[in-house]
Structure 1
Amino acid sequence: MAMEVIIRASKWVVGVSEQSVKSLGKWYNASFKDKEQVQQLRQDIVNGLDNINKTLLPGKLKLWCLQFGLLPRIMWPLTIYEVPITTVEKMERTVTSYVKKWLSVPRCLSNISLYGKGVLELPLTSLMEEYKCSKVRLQMTLKDSRAQTISNAAPLLLTGWKWTPSEAVQQPTSALRHKDIVGHVQQGRGGFSLAAREPTWCKASTSERRKLVVEEVRREEETARSAKAVSLAKQGQWLQWEGMERRKISWKELWEMEASNISFIIRATYDMLVDIGQKRIFPPEIASTNLRPDLVLFLSLSIS
C-alpha cells in the first residue's frame, strides 16, 4: 500500500525542465537564467502603460496610476532578477515617453524636469533611481545579515558593466565615514545644536546604515542630474537665476490644477513654451502664408 502511494505521488511531481517553478515571486526554469523573465518584465511594463493610456482618465490620474499602481508592482521583479542597467534605461525611456504624453509637454523635454529636485519638483520617481536603491538595499541586506552563512556567501548581484551594487555601496560608505571624521558642520545663521542631527555611521544600527546609504545614492543621482542640467543651454537656464525660489508640487496640489496649468508651469520653468512643431500656420506678423512653418524655413534657407 505504501509503495502504491509513493508511485502515485511520483507522478504528480513535475521537474523544472518540464514546468517553471515560482518561489518568493521569482520564476525558475531549466536554464536557471533570467533572460526570459526580463523580457516578460519589459512586456508587462509596456502592457501596463498601454492599459493605463487607454483609460478615459485625465493625465494626472494616469500619472497616479503609474506611480502607485504599476511601479510598485515591477519593483520586486527588478530587485530579484538579474536585470542589466541598460535594460532599465530602456524601460525608463518607455515610461518617460508616456509621462510626457500625459503631462502634455514636448518630447524633447529632459528627464531632469520630471524627476529632478531642482527649481521645480514633481511628485514622480525615477525608475532608474528606484532600481539602484533597491539593488543597493538588497546588497547591504545580504552582506550585513546576522546569519554568517548568508553574509559570508552573499551572491554577486549582476547588473552589467556600467554600474554594480558593490561599488555603489562602497562610495556612499566611504563618504559617510568621512562625515564622521569631519563631524557635524553647522549651516546657516542658527546657533550650535539647533539643526537636526543625522545619525552617525559609527553609532547607526544595521537598518539605519542601510537607510543612510540609500539616501546617499539618491543624493548622488540628484547631483548627476544637476551636472547634466549645466550642459543644457536652454532647459538649464534656471541654474543662472538669482533669488530663485524652489517649488515642490505635491499630489494634493496636482489634483487641484488643470491639465493646461501643469503643462504651462513645466514649460515656463524650463523655457519650453515655444513649440513650432505644434503650430499649423506661420505667425501672420512675420509672413502671410498657408504653408507649414518648417516648409517656410526650409524654402527661405534654400533660396538664400
Structure 2
Amino acid sequence: MNKKTKDTIVGYLFLAPALLLFLVFIAEPVVASVILSFTKYNVITPYQFIGLDNFRQFFEDDRLGLVYWNTFKFMLILTPLHVIMGLLLALAVQRKIAKGWKYFYRTVFYFPVLATSAAVAVAWSFIYNKDFGIMNYFLSLFGIEAIPWMQSPNWVYLAVAVYSFWKFIGNAFLYYFIGLQNIPETLYEAAEIDGADKVQRFFNITLPMLSPMLFFVLVTTLIGTTQIFDEPYLITGGGPGDASRSVNMYIYEIAFQHHEMGFASTVSISLFLGILSITALQFAFSKKWVSYDQE
C-alpha cells in the first residue's frame, strides 16, 4: 500500500464520525421527509401512499399563506437587527478600552445565548405581562398606557424582536468581535498616517476585511430567522390567533398535534426549498462585495 492510499484511508477515518452524524441526523431525515410527503402517516398506523394529495393540500391550505407571511416578517425584522446591532456592539467593545472591561462586555453580551430558552422565556412572559409586567411599569412612569405585548397583533412582533435581540445577539456579536481581532492594526496605523478619518478607515479597511465574517453572519442569521421557532413558541405561543405563528411552528402543530406526518413533511420540504433558494442567491451576490483577499 503506497503512502497516498494510506493518507486517503486516514483522511476518511478522521471524517467518518462527522459523516456518520451527517447521514443519521441530516441525510436520513431529509430522505424520509421526501418519502413521507407522498404518504398519509400518523405514526400509529402504517403509512399509506397517496401520491400528490399532500401537495394539493399544501396549495389549498388557507393558514399556510399567513404563517409564511409571518415568517417573512420575522426575517425582515430580525435579520437587520442581529446583523447590524451585532456589528455595532462588536465595534464598541473593540475600541481601545481596558482588557478587563472587554472581557466583562463579552460575557454580558454572550451569556444570554448560554441560558436555557424555556427558562428565560418564562421570565420574559412576566416582563411582558400587561397588568403587572415590569415593561409596562416603566412605561407608566412616562405616562404611557399599558401595552398588550402578547395580546395584540400590532405589538407581538416587537415583543418577539426585543426578546430575540436579548437572547441571541451574542452570536453575531462574538463572530464580529473575532473578525475584528484578526484585522492587522498596522492597516489602521498606515491609514491614519495618510490622513484617513474614522469613517474612511471603517469603510475602506474594517468593512472589506470583515466582509467574509459579515457574509457568514448574514447567511446564518437569515437561515435562523426563516426557521424561527423558539421565540414565538415560548413567548406568544403563535398568538394571538395565528398572528405570530411561524412555518416551523405550523409544521410542529401539523406533525405532533394533528399527527399528519405526511403533510408536515410536505410543508417542511417547501421551507427547505425556500431557504435553499435564499442561500443560493446570497452566495451568488456575495462575489460582488465579499473580499477573501487579506493580503
User: Do the two structures share a fold, i.e. TM-score over 0.5?
Assistant: no
Structure with more helix by fraction: 2
Q: Whose radius of gyration is greater, 1 or 2?
A: 1
Please, what TM-score do these two structures have when normalized by structure 2?
0.28
Q: Which has the higher contact order (CA 8 A, sep 6+)?
A: 2
